[in-house]
Amino acid sequence: MTRTIPFIIGFLLVVAPFSTPQYPLHLLIMILIWSLVYTAWSLMGRFGLVSLGHGAFMSIGAYVTALLWNYSGISPWIGIPAAMITAAIMAFLVAYPCFQFKIVGHYFALVTLALSEVVKLVIIASRDHTGGSLGFTPNREGDGTSFYALQFADKETFYFVVLGAWVLGLVIWRLVDKSMMRYALDSISEDEDASAAAGIHVTGSKLKITMLSAVLTALGGALYCQYQMFIGPEVIGGIGISLQIVFAVVVGGLYTMMGPTIGAIITLLMTEIFRNWITSLRTEGIDLAGLDTSIYGLMLILFIIFLPKGVLGELIDRLAGGRQKDTS
């Protein structure tokens, strides 16, 4: 029974765009893009490498792709890989010194937090090219649908693009999970010295997973840009987005493949509900702007205390716990 669930969900995901109105389809696309980013973050986050700088990698993915397109006419098909490589280089430049000097835990998180701000400030400061805080819009190609420009006027086509990217993210998560690398990183996350004594290249292993995570995040950023056709330094980067990533993964579950996706579904639906609610209240003259952020903050604290494995992690634990009792 449980084995058929993935196939049913897979089938529903494939037929979804043909039977779904535009607004839910838009939500679905956004959920898939963010799920990819959250999955990318959890690739390293699950090993105790907590990054508060993934907004930077998203920004790099989006801005490098869009700038190459607008100023050099380079197709996103080349621009996106270029952006992903740029993100990998950036990840290396930041992470290598950290790992070499054993900057771990909170200190690593602080360094990455600085990274997300630095990238945001660089984008704002280069306003002549990037549009600064006002944001940036990739040039439309022709009537808005072009395979070469990776632009699609209809949501249905784009849906399948992001569905593919999301599946790619899950596949990579799975491959890492099944590899010896996972054991190495689990080991490193608990005891770097003991791991090194067992022959593990500590710095190298951490660098690999960090760069992989950054590359996938950049892909998410680029797809966001291609879909929304608008990006801004705060829309797609900065501390706000970096924290949003952490929050969603914590909510969904850090240690399971589908956790980040569940996190994306919960947080995006919540955001939509809050937005509609606050807007409707405003028409009645009650201004509650900022309420949603406050509720997120409160939820984050409650989740970390009471559901540290996230919604999905907790659910799986309970199911597995019930099963274990049966066998023993």
Partner 1 sequence: MANQIIATEALTKRFGGFTAVDNVSFKVDEGEIVGLIGPNGSGKSTIFNMISGALRPTSGSVLFKGQEIGGNLPNKICHMGIGRTFQIPRPIKRLSVLENVVVAAYFGQNGKVSQAASFDAAKDALEMVGLPTDRGASISTLGAAGLKKLELARALATKPELLLADESLGGLDNSEMDQAADMLKRIRSEMGITIIWVEHIMGVLMRVVDRVMVLDHGEKISEGLPSQVANDPKVIEVYLGTDASDVQASASSQKEL
Specify the residue, 48 or 81, whose C-beta has the smaller distance to partner 1.
Answer: 48
Residue from 193, 272, 291, 304 in contact with partner 1 (CB under 8 A): 193
- The interface region with partner 1, picked from 53-61, 79-87, 199-207, 314-322 by CB under 8 A, is 199-207
How many residues bind partner 1 (CB under 8 A)? The answer is 18
Confirm or reject binding of residue 198 to partner 1 (CB under 8 A).
Answer: yes
Q: Is 196 in the site for partner 1 (CB under 8 A)?
A: yes
* Residue type at 321 in one-letter notation: G
Q: Is 195 in the site for partner 1 (CB under 8 A)?
A: yes
The reply on whether position 316 binds partner 1 by CB under 8 A is: no
Contact between 187 and partner 1 by CB under 8 A: the answer reads: yes
Q: Does 201 bind partner 1 (CB under 8 A)?
A: yes
234 versus 317: smaller Cβ distance to partner 1: 317
- Residue 233, both tokens: 């330094």
User: CA dist 142 to 66, 145, 151, 157, 269, Å?
Assistant: 16, 7, 10, 17, 34
Amino acid residing at 6: P
CB nearer to partner 1: pick between 283 and 325: 325
Please name which of 205, 182, 328 lies closest in space to residue 255, comparing C-alpha atoms: 182
8 Å CB contact between 221 and 60? yes
Q: The tokens of 248 are what?
A: 């969603």
Collapsing DSSP states into helix, strand and coil, what is residue 135?
A: coil
Residue 215: strand, helix, or coil: helix
The tokens describing 213, both together, are 């995570």
- Which position among 154, 190, 272, 287 is part of the footprint of partner 1 (CB under 8 A)? 190
Q: Which residue from 1, 4, 199, 328 is in contact with partner 1, where contact means CB under 8 A?
A: 199
- The verdict on 183 binding partner 1 (CB under 8 A) reads yes
Judged by beta carbon, residue 164 or residue 308, the one nearer partner 1 is 308
Contact region with partner 1 (CB under 8 A), list: 155-163, 198-206, 234-242, 292-300:
198-206
Question: Longest Cα pair distance anywhere in the chain, in angstroms?
Answer: 67
Q: Is 46 in contact with 38 (CB distance < 8 Å)?
A: no
Alpha carbon separation from 153 to 146, 179, 253 (Å, rounded):
9, 40, 34
Binding footprint of partner 1 on the chain (CB under 8 A) = 180, 183-184, 186-187, 189-191, 193-202
